[in-house]
Amino acid sequence: MTAVREPVRVQEVSTPEPGRHTRSARLRLGDRHPGLIPLLLAAPAGIGLLFFVVIPALLSLIASFFSVPLAGGPWSFVGFANFQRVLTDPAVLQALGNTVLYSALTIIPSLLIGLGLALLANRAGRARPFVRTALFLPMTANLVAMAVVFRWMFAAQGGFANELLGFFGIGAVNWLGNPHTSLLTVALVGVWRTASLTMMIFFAGLATIPVSIEEATRSEGIRGIVKLTRITLPIIKPTVVFATVIAILTSVQVFDTINVMTQGGPLGSSETVLTMVWKLGFSYYDLGAASALSLLLLIVLIGVGILQRRTLAGGER
């Protein structure tokens, strides 16, 4: 009688999933050093910020007190001579005046148009997402490309603006070549751009108004300009201050549109601070004066930020 052999049982060996050990190692690393992974993720952006923002800013700060030879050689300390030359240069003073005038031509219209568009988008009902997206499109467009388009629109010959004036029997205007109209023309482009940004800021502020207040004003019959000035604007005061500061910063730092459309001309009539910084540094090769002027602009921008902070703090109290 032969014995029956039992079948040999083969023990199954489970194979680890691909990447399992890697994920486990990461988890163990995260458990041991919880602050290491965020630092590693932020390292590429931090390195780029260091080499392309922090170090150039420090070099510019130092160069504003030195005479920098472009051909090489040691820097020579000149103290505040660069600032003195900048503040007494007629071309720089004209650029400062143009920047103030450009800001005056763009800030208030941008705020008013942005607020009006935000109120319009807020009342659009079901079409609100479409209207909001359409009104925000100018901010998504490439500014250099749009400056080329606007340069064609305001061209002296064959431009859309002059063709439109000719349709009504009005003579052509040299929009960009006339010292009396060049700054106003680029300011119109600035309003078109900044109004879209302020619109989104105001729209976000209007969304914070409680529904109960809207219902109460509707039941009391409060509408129009009275509702806007007595209820809406006081509630969204921080939003108004923030939009104003953003409009100021955008206007003071205008560069792309002017550099493409007029290059600061004619006769410096559309020159601004940043275009003058560019010319001092890369056209006249006066890096010390360019650094001094950029430092003065930075001080002004810091002052605007401090003013915004104090205004908001005063409103909270």
Phi-psi region of 178 (alpha: psi -120 to 50; beta: other; left: phi over 0): beta
Q: Peptide bond preceding 34: is omega within 30 degrees of 0, i.e. cis?
A: no
pLDDT tens digit sequence for 219-269: 877 788 888 888 888 889 889 989 998 999 899 989 989 999 999 989 899
Of the candidates 285, 296, 276, 303, the residue with the CA atom closest to the CA atom of residue 83: 296
Q: What is the mean pLDDT of the chain?
A: 83
pLDDT tens digit sequence for 39-71: 888 889 999 999 998 998 898 899 999 988 877
Asked if 305 contacts 245 with a C-beta cutoff of 8 angstroms, the reply is yes
Residue with token string 């955008």 = 250
Of the candidates 269, 278, 293, the residue with the CA atom closest to the CA atom of residue 98: 269
Paired with 66 in beta bridges are 77
pLDDT band at 122 (very low <50, low <70, confident <90, very high): confident
pLDDT band at 213 (very low <50, low <70, confident <90, very high): confident
At residue 6, does pLDDT exceed 80?
no
Report the Cα–Cα distance between both ends of the chain, in Å, rounded. 104
pTM of the model: 0.81
- What is the rounded average pLDDT of the residues 73-86? 88
- What is the rounded average pLDDT of the residues 150-170? 89
CATH match for 83-316 among 1.20.1250.20, 1.10.3720.10, 3.65.10.10, 3.30.70.260: 1.10.3720.10
Of the candidates 66, 96, 61, the residue with the CA atom closest to the CA atom of residue 80: 66
The whole-number pLDDT of residue 23 equals 53
pLDDT band at 1 (very low <50, low <70, confident <90, very high): very low
Higher pLDDT, 226 or 179: 179
pLDDT band at 74 (very low <50, low <70, confident <90, very high): confident
At residue 182, does pLDDT exceed 90?
yes
The whole-number pLDDT of residue 28 equals 59
Tokens coding 89: 């240069």
The whole-number pLDDT of residue 41 equals 85
At residue 166, does pLDDT exceed 80?
yes
**Cα atoms in the Cβ-side hemisphere of radius 13 Å centred on 44:** 1
Asked if 264 contacts 271 with a C-beta cutoff of 8 angstroms, the reply is yes
DSSP H or E run through 77: strand 76-77
Delimit the domains of the chain by residue range.
83-316
Asked if 162 contacts 156 with a C-beta cutoff of 8 angstroms, the reply is yes
